Amino acid sequence: MRKQLLIAFGAALWFTQILPGQTPPNFSGEWKMDIAKSDFGRMPAPEALSRTIQQTDSSLHIQTYNKGKQGEVRSELKYTTDGKECVNHLQGGDAKGTVKFQGANLVIDSTRDYQGTEIRSKETWTLSDGGRVLTIQNHVTIAQQGDFDTKLVLNKQ
C-alpha cells in the first residue's frame, strides 16, 4: 500500500513538472460558426457568426461578426494572457475580463453591466480535430434572471 502511494505521489509530481512547461494551444485563425453543432440555450441563434482570432504569447485579440434578428454587430476584444484584468469598450458599456490557460483550455472570465443588469460569463475554449474545430462552452449568469449555458462550435477556414 505504501509503495503504491509513493508511486502515485511520484507520478503526480512528475506530471506537475512536465505540464507547466507545455506550450499552450494557439487559437489564431479565421473561424466560422457551425450552426448544427452549436447550442445557444435560451438565447436566439444568430444567422451567421465569424471570428478572427490573433494570439501571441502575451495577448489575445478577438474580432467577431454576428448577424441576427437585431441586425449586424461587430465587436473587438483585447486581452492579455497573464490573468490580469482588461477592459473592453463595447456597445452598451464596458466589459472587464481575464484570460488564462488551464492546461490545453483557454478560459475567459468576464463581467459586463448592460443597461443596469450585470452579466457574468465564463468561456472555456478547446481545440479538436487537429486544431480545425474550436468549441466555446459558455456559462452565463444574468442578475435576477439566473444561469444558462451555451456552446459555440466554430470551424477553421
Determine the pLDDT at residue 91.
83
Determine the pLDDT at residue 14.
38
C-alpha separations of 39 from 65, 67, 110 in Å: 18, 16, 20
Determine the pLDDT at residue 7.
42
Determine the pLDDT at residue 17.
37
Determine the pLDDT at residue 20.
56
Determine the pLDDT at residue 21.
62
**Residue 114 near residue 133, CB atoms below 8 Å:** no
Determine the pLDDT at residue 123.
98
CA–CA distance, 105 with 95 (Å, rounded to integer): 21
43 phi and psi, to 5 degrees? -95, 150
Pairing of strands 71-80, 86-90: unpaired
> What average pLDDT values come out for the chain (157 residues) when binned by 10 residues?
41 42 89 97 94 96 95 96 94 92 96 92 98 98 93 98
Indicate the pTM of the whole model: 0.83
* The residue to which cell 434578428 is assigned: 69
> By three-state DSSP, how is residue 98 classified?
strand
Residue 3: its H or E element: helix 2-18
Pairing of strands 146-156, 86-90: unpaired
Determine the pLDDT at residue 93.
87
- Looking at domain 25-156, what is its CATH homologous superfamily? Calycin beta-barrel core domain (2.40.128.20)
Identify the DSSP state of 156. E
